Amino acid sequence: MQIQEIKFNLLSIPTTPARASATEIASGRNDKITTLVVKIRTKSGIEGIGFAYSLQGGGKAMLAIGQEDLAPLILNENALDNEKLASKVYWRTQTIGRTGLVQQVYSAIDVALWDIKGKAAKLPLHKLLGGFRESIPAYISHTGWLWMSVGQIIDLSKPFLDQGVMGLKVKVGANPQNDIERISNLREAMGENIWLAVDANERYDTGTALAMGNFYQDEIGVGWFEEPITCENIKGHSYLANNLDIPIASGEMLFSREEFHNYLEKGAMDIAQPDITRLGGITNTLKVIHYCESQNIPVSPHLLPELAVHLGCGLPQITSVEYMPWFEPLFNEYPKFKEGKLIPPEGPGLGLSLSEKAINEYIAS
């Protein structure tokens, strides 16, 4: 299964609904997703696809890293040797890439290698990973941005809630008093039976997070409190996890297995949220998930339902996936809801094929 050809495309994909308001965009927040797509073709004719993303820049650097640094390391290698290739790239790029952009770019490559592995075995990825279940609970998170009013959140969420999805996650953290009013009004409008989580994206300090956590658990009844404080503050996360009944969810900003180990050893997270395209792909993410299993920590991957649905259906430790359909326009197929749960697309590997129309439309200038 010799790798014969590697091609990269850099795209800029608009978000619908927009992840940023006009005011946020004016202040520098990007409402488009910089996306690196890779196609890996083997000598036997099997082609795998992978992708990774960046939210606030770095696209041209990602493209250069892929083309100039990583592609030469895996060209002519066996595409089925994902562990060998991950190790090779790690040691060759250790001085510049143990975390960050190098790992993000290699994530796209590693996903493509797993796509090839599934196609070679004629199995969908979730079966290759273990085939634990046929569908996975999913919550929506693209209908609860900070700029949205309670009415907008309700209107955008209703079509999914009517299908019986697990619930929704809403952004908080702009201002504690505004958060209290907004989430209280949202809970009153939705009722007590709708599952609701809150995500502060690291915006609170520890003291504020403790006070807000008590409010969210006592007055609102939320499913989890996500990224309450900066990811560097492991001690603060441990303090919150030990002083709040509400589960503390985190992990999207962690770029290595070692960072997850440090969090778990210090009791700093109750729910792990690894981002597949920040950890170096599926190969490393699987190791994080299995370590979480050994520590009895549930896993709910960050974003990427196109990939997470396979992990969720393949592995028992994953309890839910996040439905953020940023990349839906990129593919001819997409995971669908059935009786409120997400099911993977049919077909071997990822079960996805790229839309050439989308690639041409979203190509970055």
* pLDDT tens per residue across span 291-340: 999 999 999 999 999 999 999 999 999 999 999 999 999 999 999 999 99
**Do the domain assignments include residue 276?**
yes
- Judge whether 302 counts as a catalytic residue: yes
CA distance 253 to 104: 12
Q: Give the residue carrying structure tokens 């809801």.
A: 337
Q: What is the mean pLDDT of residues 4-32?
A: 88
**In the predicted structure, residue 69 carries a pLDDT above the cut 80:** yes
Domain that holds residue 50: 3-122+356-362
Residues 38 and 172 reside in one and the same domain: no
**Do the domain assignments include residue 351?**
no
Q: How confident is the model at residue 174 (pLDDT cuts 50, 70, 90)?
A: confident
Residues 19 and 64 reside in one and the same domain: yes
Residues 95 and 219 reside in one and the same domain: no
Residues 112 and 153 reside in one and the same domain: no
Omega within 30 of 0 (cis) for the link into 345: no
pLDDT of residue 365: 66
Q: Are 117 and 46 spatial neighbours (Cβ–Cβ below 8 Å)?
A: no
The closest alpha carbon to 277, from 10, 34, 54, belongs to: 54
Q: How confident is the model at residue 30 (pLDDT cuts 50, 70, 90)?
A: confident
Q: What is the CATH number of the domain that holds 253?
A: 3.20.20.120
**In the predicted structure, residue 356 carries a pLDDT above the cut 90:** yes
**Do the domain assignments include residue 225?**
yes
Q: How confident is the model at residue 364 (pLDDT cuts 50, 70, 90)?
A: confident
Residues 82 and 146 reside in one and the same domain: no
**Do the domain assignments include residue 350?**
no
Of the chain, the percentage scoring pLDDT greater than 70 comes to 100
Q: Are 164 and 340 spatial neighbours (Cβ–Cβ below 8 Å)?
A: yes
Residues 195 and 266 reside in one and the same domain: yes
Q: What is the mean pLDDT of residues 141-160?
A: 96
- Judge whether 171 counts as a catalytic residue: yes
Residues 105 and 147 reside in one and the same domain: no
Please provide the average confidence, as pLDDT, over all residues in the chain.
Answer: 96
pLDDT tens-digit readout, 220-276: 999 999 999 999 999 999 999 999 999 999 999 999 999 999 999 999 999 999 999
Q: Are 233 and 206 spatial neighbours (Cβ–Cβ below 8 Å)?
A: yes
Q: Which two tokens stand for residue 257?
A: 């297995």
Q: For residue 169, what are the β-bridge partners?
A: 197
Residues 208 and 338 reside in one and the same domain: yes
**Long-range pairs for 328-331: beta carbons < 8 A, 24 or more residues apart:** 329/13, 329/355, 329/358, 329/362, 330/11, 330/13, 330/35, 330/37, 330/51, 330/354, 330/355, 330/358, 330/359, 330/362, 331/306, 331/355, 331/358
Q: What is the DSSP letter of 329?
A: G
Q: Which two tokens stand for residue 182?
A: 């907004």
Omega within 30 of 0 (cis) for the link into 17: yes
Residues 65 and 182 reside in one and the same domain: no
**In the predicted structure, residue 60 carries a pLDDT above the cut 70:** yes
Residues 211 and 239 reside in one and the same domain: yes
Of the residues 126, 142, 171, 341, which is catalytic? 171
Task: For the chain, report the end-to-end CA distance as a whole number of angstroms.
Answer: 34
Q: What is the mean pLDDT of residues 181-205?
A: 97
**Do the domain assignments include residue 259?**
yes
Residues 43 and 152 reside in one and the same domain: no
pLDDT of residue 128: 97
CB atoms within 10 A of CB 75: 13
Q: Are 173 and 201 spatial neighbours (Cβ–Cβ below 8 Å)?
A: yes
The closest alpha carbon to 65, from 77, 55, 73, belongs to: 73
Q: Which two tokens stand for residue 280?
A: 């170096």
Q: What is the mean pLDDT of residues 26-40?
A: 90
Q: Are 217 and 237 spatial neighbours (Cβ–Cβ below 8 Å)?
A: no
Of the residues 117, 119, 302, 341, which is catalytic? 302
The closest alpha carbon to 42, from 2, 82, 85, belongs to: 2
**Count of structural domains within the chain:** 2
Of the chain, the percentage scoring pLDDT greater than 90 comes to 92
